[in-house]
Amino acid sequence: DVKVTQSSRYLVKRTGEKVFLECVQDMDHENMFWYRQDPGLGLRLIYFSYDVKMKEKGDIPEGYSVSREKKERFSLILESASTNQTSMYLCASSSRGFATNEKLFFGSGTQLSVL
């Protein structure tokens, strides 16, 4: 069974902390994505990566960075967490060009609370 696994389901951090959200996929996908999901705003793309060590900004990259050192792992980093980063974070992956089956595979999400 194909999987996108996010390391934590719930996370509570304090303002100013450096936060790492980890995502691993086992489908050998080239593309990986980080979205945040907020009520009334839907899913907004933070960063995505087309390949190892490659990254591109999405629609709301401010306050975030990412790392993709290995093909299967894509990390989202909050350099100095703030309360407005309290959200549900969703990781997703897909094959390049959606060549095989034209869809994103999502993890179950990490609910981050910044106090």
Residues forming contacts to other proteins in the complex (CB under 8 A) are 4, 31, 33, 35, 40-45, 48, 50, 58, 90, 92, 94, 96-98, 102-104, 106-109
CB 84, min distance to other proteins, A: 18
- CB nearer to other proteins: give 44 or 73: 44
CB 37, min distance to other proteins, A: 8
Is 96 strand, coil or helix?
helix
- CB nearer to other proteins: give 52 or 79: 52
- CB nearer to other proteins: give 41 or 52: 41
| Structure-block tokens of residue 70 | 């290995």
Q: Which long-range contacts (CB under 8 A, 24 or more apart) does 99-108 make?
A: 104/33, 105/2, 105/3, 105/4, 105/25, 105/27, 105/29, 106/4, 107/4, 107/5, 107/6, 107/23, 108/6, 108/9
CB 80, min distance to other proteins, A: 27
CB 16, min distance to other proteins, A: 29
Quote the Cα angle for 11-90-63, to 5°: 70
